[in-house]
Structure 1
Amino acid sequence: MKKLENLVATLLAVYAIILTLCIAIYAIFKLLEVDITLATNLLLWSAAIFAPIAVLMTYTSWREQKRAEVLAQIAMNLREKINQEVGEIRYLLNFIDNIKNIKSGSINTLDQNVEKIVKIKKCLSKDLGILSLELDKDNNCFLKMIDLLNLIENVLRIRGFGIADEKLINTCLSINYTSLYGELVEQLEKIALYRFEDD
């Protein structure tokens, strides 16, 4: 609502400035005894100048509003998807926590878990990437979630070759998923309510 009020106020201010200039020029013409029809045409000209300026400013405002609507829809869809996958991601992190103890004979379990993380990444990555690019925030939770999903997949794929890369496992487990999930949901709710930055 504030943006609409600001736009109306700006449009009125622009028109007032144009009208004031035209009236000043009209007064100058009157003092110089210039033809009155020229002065009248000048006032009409002010309205003609104002129309495209108003259209341009309104279009810019509409474009920002449309962008906000699209991002809000993506955020609502992503929140729903994240809530559906939260249990699976927790399961995979617990699995990785115990991955050193998994015997190489459990390759079916590893394969199933690789399929799970690939499915989760396919479901979430596009929307996470769009929001990360559009909101352009450094070190944001969208990029952190993409990194976590990539780390989980890498740990599982490498373990499928019989290697338990402790450094990679520790990096994956060092991410506080509960905190990241909470931050992500909070950001998605803000976007869904058209609040892209902290007020």
Structure 2
Amino acid sequence: MNIIDDKKLSLIMKLAISYVLLLNFVFLFYVFNTDPSSDQTARGAVFTNLLVWSATLYAPLAAFFLYDSWKEQKQYEITKELMIDVITVLSDLYIKIGKAINLAERLKEIDNDKITLQSFINAKELRNVDDLNKIYALIHLYENITGDKALMKYKSNFDKTTFEIETFLTKLDLLYLQYFESLDLKIESNFTRTQTYKKDEKAIVKNNIDAINNIFKNPMPFSNNEIPYDLSFDQSKKNFERSYENFIQKISEILNP
């Protein structure tokens, strides 16, 4: 049963239970405040008036329950729209960075093959601050509506792992650009191209190759709240993917409680 059906059922139960309780009160009031020996017509009139009174009293109560249910459903609909927007922006950013990671990993073979990437990694353009700010704004709005502060933790972790992987990508971008220019490579197609090094070519870019290999082999120093730590490229990639998966999982829990 989805959340809308649950809310409808909850509303029906609230309306039914409240009216039953009100009728019980009317009945008890009638029993304890009506003389059994009095005229039957008079007792009937009293009971009828009590029913009218209960209906009058029930009307604003029912209106309150209906309004409260409408407000909850409207909040859920707004929350759903916000979360869908977050997923859209988040997934687009994840795919964009994921493509850059895949390109970067081709450079792990640069010691064996001359590699011409279909485009430069350009990691400096990947970290779209507008997208990250948009995600923050959507979550902040969600917090104001629901009072739920849990989601921002996942966003902060995604920001952190995004920064880490893009630090690697930025360095690889600069190093590959030097390698690219040293060999005077040309982009001839939309595909990554691997070739055997020609005579003396590898010697020309040996320092570039070593520098690129060092990025993959050696951990890089980072700092979080002034606490230093080291991180490898592969671990950074795993952390980035995990933070995205956890973020999406948390949003799914909000959409499907």
**TM-score interval, normalised by the smaller of the two chains:** 0.5 to 0.7
Q: Is the 8 A contact 2:30 2:47 kept in 1?
A: yes
Deviations along 1:118-149, one digit per CA (max 9) or x if unpaired, are: 23323322123334563333874234234556
Change (3 A) 1:49 1:185: same
For 1:61 and 1:143, how far apart are their aligned partners in 2?
33
AA aligned to 1:40 is T
**Structure 1 residue corresponding to 2:239, chosen from 157, 166, 176:** 176
For 1:40 and 1:126, how far apart are their aligned partners in 2?
57
Q: State the match for 1:167 in structure 2.
A: 222
Q: Is the 8 A contact 1:19 1:46 kept in 2?
A: yes
**Structure 1 residue corresponding to 2:27, chosen from 11, 18, 23:** 23
Q: State the match for 1:136 in structure 2.
A: 149
Which is richer in strand?
2
Give the 5 Å matches for 1:103-142: 113=124, 116-131=127-142, 134=146, 135-137=148-150, 140-142=153-155
For 1:189 and 1:138, how far apart are their aligned partners in 2?
11
Q: State the match for 2:54 in structure 1.
A: 46
TM-score by length of 1: 0.66
Deviations along 1:161-187, one digit per CA (max 9) or x if unpaired, are: xxxx93328478498111111122223
AA aligned to 2:91 is N
Q: Is the 8 A contact 1:141 1:184 kept in 2?
A: yes
Q: State the match for 2:211 in structure 1.
A: none
AA aligned to 2:137 is K
Structure 2, unaligned stretches of length 5 or more?
Answer: 105-119, 172-219
Deviations along 1:21-78, one digit per CA (max 9) or x if unpaired, are: 1112122233264954344222211111111111111211111111111111111122
**Any idea what SS the aligned residue of 1:27 has?**
helix
AA aligned to 2:256 is R
Change (3 A) 1:125 1:139: closer
Let me know the Cα RMSD of the aligned residues.
3.8
| Higher alpha-carbon deviation: 28-37 or 67-76 | 28-37
Q: Is the 8 A contact 2:26 2:54 kept in 1?
A: yes
Query: Taking every aligned residue pair, what percent have the same amino acid on both sides?
Result: 17
For 2:141 and 2:161, how far apart are their aligned partners in 1?
17
Q: Is the 8 A contact 2:139 2:151 kept in 1?
A: no
For 1:139 and 1:128, how far apart are their aligned partners in 2?
7
Pair member with larger Rg: 2
AA aligned to 1:168 is S
For 1:46 and 1:171, how far apart are their aligned partners in 2?
71
Structure 1, unaligned stretches of length 5 or more?
Answer: 96-108, 160-164
Change (3 A) 1:55 1:5: same
For 1:143 and 1:116, how far apart are their aligned partners in 2?
14
Q: Is the 8 A contact 2:15 2:62 kept in 1?
A: yes
TM-score by length of 2: 0.53
For 2:251 and 2:158, how far apart are their aligned partners in 1?
13
Q: Is the 8 A contact 2:97 2:126 kept in 1?
A: no
AA aligned to 2:239 is N
